[in-house]
Structure 1
C-alpha cells in the first residue's frame, strides 16, 4: 500500500512517547474506550431536535404551505403544525379558523378517501376504520356510504380475483369470504357477491 496515498491519521509512536518515555504506558481497554465515546456523544449539541418555534404570520404561512400540498384532517393538521409551532394552543386556534374558512375540510378528506378506497377495492368497514384513524366522523359521508352498491363492489373484486364462476367447493367459498372480509366488506354483501351469476345482470 502506498503511504503517500493513504497517510497515517495518527502517529502511534509519537503518542506513546508523549505518555511514556519507554512506550510502556498500558493501553486503554476497549470497554473504557467505548464508555468514553458514549460519554462524549452524550454531550453532542442537539440543535436539530429543537422546534423552530413558529408563531403568528409565520405559522399561518406554514399552514397554508402544508395544505397546498395535501388535504389533511383537522386532527392531522394540528399534530403536524404542533411539531414546529411555539404553542399548541395557537395551532388549535389557527386550524379552527382555517376550518371555518374552508381551507381545511374534514368533509373533503372523507370524500377523497371514500373515492380512493373504493378504487382500491376496499369495503365500508375498511373505509370507516381509516376515517377513524384520521379522527374523522364517518357521519360526514354516511349518505355516500349508504348509496354505494357494496354488493357490486364486492362482486367486481371477487371476479378480478377468482373469476365469474360460482363455486360449490366449501374450501374455495371460505377462501373467497375471507378475502372479501379482509378487504372490509360486510357478510351480507359478501354472500350475495360470491353467489351472483354472470347472467344475473341480464
Structure 2
C-alpha cells in the first residue's frame, strides 16, 4: 500500500506542531516521519526550525523539569520522561548538574499533600506510601526523609 503524499510540506507541519507546544527534536522527527514525509525532507524541516530557535531540546527539557515538579514528580521520573521524549543524555545531565532544586523538601511536600499528617499505623501502610513515592520518582534517601523513617527497605 502506497502512502499518499501529504498536502503541506514537512516544514509547514513542523511549524504547526511547534506553534501548539514545544517538542523534542526526536519527537518532532517521529511525528513527521509517521505522516509519510521522506527523511531528507524531515531533516531539512527540523534544521530550519532549529535555525530559527523554534526547536530547542534544552528549552524543552527545562519545561519538562518545571512541569514534572508541578505534577509532584521526583528526579528519577522526570529524567525518565525526558529520555522517553528523546532528549539527549548530555542535555539532561547538564540540566540536572546546574539544578539547585531541593528534591528532599519537594518529596516531603508531595508526601504531605498525599498523606497529610496521619501516622503510619502498620507495615502495610508504610509499604503503600513507599510505593507511591517510588512511583513518583523519588529515590530511597528522599523517601526516607519525606516519610520520616530510618529503617532499611
Normalising by structure 2, report the TM-score. 0.82
Provide the rounded CA distance (Å) in 2 between the counterparts of 1:63 and 1:156. 39
Provide the rounded CA distance (Å) in 2 between the counterparts of 1:111 and 1:75. 16
Provide the rounded CA distance (Å) in 2 between the counterparts of 1:160 and 1:178. 16
Matches within 5 A, 1:157-176: 157-167=110-120, 169-176=122-129
Matches within 5 A, 1:1-202: 50-52=4-6, 54=8, 58-84=9-35, 86-137=37-88, 138-143=92-97, 146-167=99-120, 169-195=122-148
Name 1:39's counterpart in structure 2: none
Q: CA-atom RMSD, angstroms?
A: 2.4
Moved more, 85-94 or 181-190: 85-94
Name 1:16's counterpart in structure 2: none
Provide the rounded CA distance (Å) in 2 between the counterparts of 1:140 and 1:90. 30
Normalising by structure 1, report the TM-score. 0.64
- The secondary structure found in structure 1 opposite 2:54 is coil
Q: Residue 73 of structure 2 contacts residue 138 of structure 2 at CA under 8 Å; is this kept in 1? A: yes
Deviations 1:161-195 (A, max 9, x none): 22224536433222211110111100001001111
- List alignment gaps of at least 5 residues for structure 1: 1-45, 197-202
- List alignment gaps of at least 5 residues for structure 2: none
- The secondary structure found in structure 1 opposite 2:53 is coil
Report the alpha carbon displacement of residue 143 of structure 1 after superposing the two structures with TM: 3.3
Moved more, 152-161 or 58-67: 58-67
Deviations 1:80-113 (A, max 9, x none): 1223454212211331232233110111211111
CA distance change for structure 1 residues 140 and 74 in 2, over 3 Å: closer, same or farther? farther
Who wins on radius of gyration, i.e. which is larger?
1
Provide the rounded CA distance (Å) in 2 between the counterparts of 1:187 and 1:86. 45
